[in-house]
Chains A and B, each alone.
Chain A
Amino acid sequence: AQTVTQSQPEMSVQEAETVTLSCTYDTSESNYYLFWYKQPPSRQMILVIRQEAYKQQNATENRFSVNFQKAAKSFSLKISDSQLGDTAMYFCALTEGGSEKLVFGKGMKLTVNP
């Protein structure tokens, strides 16, 4: 069965700093996708970044980038130049095979302080 593990429950950083959120996963499938979702206090779940397992190149979206280590089954998210609006719960998630079913980690609460 597929699993997603986020070992850091909470982090706090200062505005403009860089922060890295860690995630490890396990799957027996060769075809899978990894995601980072953000859930601010409004509770609206928002996709931050997406990575196809078959692509070696790490995905990047503006200030957000990932470090995808396929052999180690690691998928960390780096947020550069942190902003107050980045304060949220961050969830790492996985889909595999042909299914749209997202398997989520427990989440990590990120607080960006002024």
Chain B
Amino acid sequence: KAGVTQTPRYLIKTRGQQVTLSCSPISGHRSVSWYQQTPGQGLQFLFEYFSETQRNKGNFPGRFSGRQFSNSRSEMNVSTLELGDSALYLCASSLSGGAGHEQFFGPGTRLTVL
């Protein structure tokens, strides 16, 4: 079974631009979560989606948004990029969501904002 895939793997943008990151979960997984990883703040939760519905959202500004499609693939969008948005963005999928289920992580998208 293929693992979680994230595209693109690397991205360079300039301040003020917007970006869309994509995550394809493991086949059969219906839950997708997103995390931002930075050296200063560590790993922070962004969103959790299950069956196209956002079930939980982290403490991030409205510039960060996401969605999930009927095939469970998910995208996250960051508008009006700031230098502080430079980070590794990780996506994780699980079979059915809910606390305690093992979440499988993708390799991440490294976003650099110049």
A44 CA to B108 CA in the complex, in Å?
8
Stretch at the interface among A62-70, A71-79, A80-88, A93-101: A93-101
Q: What A residues does B103 contact at CB under 8 A?
A: 47, 100, 102
| Contact between A100 and B56, CB atoms less than 8 A apart | yes
| Interface residue total, chain B, C-beta cutoff 8 A | 27
Taking chain A's interface residues, is the majority helix, strand, or loop, or is none over half, making it mixed? loop
Q: What A residues does B44 contact at CB under 8 A?
A: 104
Q: What A residues does B88 contact at CB under 8 A?
A: 43
Closest to A104 in B: B43
In the complex, A16 has a CB within 8 A of chain B:
no
A102 CA to B32 CA in the complex, in Å?
12
In the complex, B24 has a CB within 8 A of chain A:
no
Q: Tell me whether A44 and B107 are in contact in the complex, defined as CB-CB below 8 angstroms, given that A99-B48, A100-B56 are known contacts.
A: yes
Q: Tally A-B pairs: CB < 8 A.
A: 64
| Contact between B48 and A91, CB atoms less than 8 A apart | no
| Contact between A95 and B42, CB atoms less than 8 A apart | no
Q: What A residues does B55 contact at CB under 8 A?
A: 99-100
What's the interface size class on A, roughly?
Answer: 20 to 34
Q: Tell me whether A97 and B102 are in contact in the complex, defined as CB-CB below 8 angstroms, given that A45-B90, A104-B43, A107-B42 are known contacts.
A: no
Within 8 A of B (CB), among A26-76: 31-33, 42-47, 50, 52
Q: Distance (Å) between the CB of B85 and the closest chain A CB?
A: 18
Q: What B residues does A45 contact at CB under 8 A?
A: 90, 92, 105
| Contact between B42 and A106, CB atoms less than 8 A apart | yes
Q: What B residues does A42 contact at CB under 8 A?
A: 107
Q: Ordered nearest first, which 7 A-B pairs have the shortest CB separation?
A: A45-B105, A104-B43, A33-B100, A95-B99, A101-B45, A106-B42, A100-B97
Chain A residues near B (Cβ < 8 Å)? 31-33, 42-47, 50, 52, 91, 95-107
